[in-house]
Structure formats: C-alpha cells, structure tokens
Chain A
Amino acid sequence: MATYNKFNQAVEDWLHGVYAADTDQFTVALCAAANAPVATNTVLANLTEISYTNLSSRNLTTSTSAQSSGTYTQLFADLTLSASGGAAAAFRYVVIYNNTPASPLDPLLCWYDYGSDLTLADGESLLIDFTTSTFTVT
C-alpha cells in the first residue's frame, strides 16, 4: 500500500484562497525513485517528472469536497493509469497538484510513495485507489 505524504505549503494555500477544491483541475504527476518529492516542495516546477509518453490521462475527478460535523474531506474518483503504444517510464511517486491556479502556478497537494519504481508495460494499468479520503481538514 502506498504511503501518503503532505506538502507543507498546501495547508497555507488552502487557507489563502489558492484552492477551489471542488472544481479545480487536479492532476497526477509522476516521479522516479531518484527524484523523490520532499515536504518543503511547493509547486510542480520543484519536481522532476517522468516522460508521459504512452501514458493515459492523469486528470482526476473530484467526487467529494464537503464538510461533515466540521471535518472537511476531499476525495477523488479512483484513477486508472494505462500504458498504450509502448511502455511507460518507471515511477515510484504519485504526486497530486492543482492544475488551475496561475499564481502560484501548479501548487502541490500531496504525494504517495509506492516504495520502489513501478513499471507499466504496453497494455498494463495501475489503479490509484483513493480509498475513502484524500485530504481532510479539521
């Protein structure tokens, strides 16, 4: 199971109005084992991404963005990444960033560490299962 990690700047971005979490475009970025994100990264430009040749869409669908009893939960629909036309580049880290804001550009939300590089051969898929919540604020 992948390990969830938060980017420190994300909580400030939320409260400073950078996010409109229910309708912003959230996108997955992928990084290889040699290019690990760190909690102090703030925007996509801080990361080294893999090449996305042969890889399916990385856009996420927001399903839940609401509070209940004072706890806010954001949840995305599970995303299936598929390789087609050839293998996809190896990646270990699945990063989620907000593709909508222009300033800051592409702020980072969180990342998942799969522990080692994953490879998708032509025709193979990876299901990114967000279980029951991606991000909560209490």
Chain B
Amino acid sequence: MSIKELKDKRDVLWNELHALKAEYDPKEKAIRDQIRDINNTLYPLEMSPIVAKLEHKVSEGKASDAEKQKLDMVKAHIKSLQAP
C-alpha cells in the first residue's frame, strides 16, 4: 500500500472509532458520573471510624506526624466533598 492509501485507510478507521465513541461515550459517562457520586458519598462514611480513631490519638498526644498528616488530609478531603 502507498502512504496515501495507508493514511486513507487510517482515516476511515478513525472515523469508525469516532462514531463508536460518539455512541458509547455518553452512556459510559452517565454511568461513571453516578459511580463518582456514590464514591464521594461513600468516602466520608467509610473513613469515619478511622477519623475517630486518629482524632482520639491526637487528643491523647499519641499520634505520629504521619497520622496527624493523614487526619488533616482526610478531613480536608471530606470538607471538599461536602462543599457546595
């Protein structure tokens, strides 16, 4: 095949790919948007007992620097998820 023929064939395939994605991508996005919402709701719930445990350690003066950093990060992230 010549360079032109190869590029023409590639253009056809790209167009097929674009058509497939035009049909599929919106459906995938709709599902992923729901998953993302669930993850954002789940995270504070799943981390709640860990936050409580870390806060207790901090209050007792027994938390390591890494644990304090983690607590700050988790609380900041939860706050960002709850922001309007």
Binding site for B on A (CB under 8 A): 20, 22-23, 61-64, 77-78, 127, 129, 131-132
Contacts and interface: CB of A to CB of B under 8 A. Distances in A.
Interface in B1-59: 32, 35-36, 39, 42-43, 46-47, 50
Given A20-B32, A132-B73, A78 B39 contact: no
Contact of A132 (B32, B35, B42, B70): B70
Contacts of B69: 132
Given A131-B66, A131-B70, A61 B43 contact: yes
A127 B53 CA distance: 12
Contacts, number: 33
Q: Which 8 A-B pairs have the closest CB atoms?
A: A23-B32, A23-B35, A63-B43, A77-B46, A61-B42, A132-B73, A77-B43, A23-B36
Given A61-B43, A63-B77, 13 more contacts: A20-B32, A23-B35, A23-B39, A61-B46, A63-B39, A63-B47, A64-B77, A77-B47, A78-B50, A127-B50, A129-B50, A132-B70, A132-B73
A78 B36 contact: no
A77 B77 CA distance: 11
Given A77-B42, A132-B73, A22 B47 contact: no
A20 B39 CA distance: 14
Interface of B: 32, 35-36, 39, 42-43, 46-47, 50, 66, 69-70, 73, 77
A19 to B, nearest CB: 12
A132 B47 CA distance: 13
A23 B33 CA distance: 8
Contacts of B47: 63, 77-78
A78 B46 contact: yes
29 contacts: A20-B32, A22-B32, A22-B36, A22-B39, A23-B32, A23-B35, A23-B36, A23-B39, A61-B42, A61-B43, A62-B39, A63-B39, A63-B43, A63-B47, A63-B77, A77-B42, A77-B43, A77-B46, A77-B47, A78-B46, A78-B47, A78-B50, A127-B50, A129-B70, A131-B66, A131-B70, A132-B69, A132-B70, A132-B73
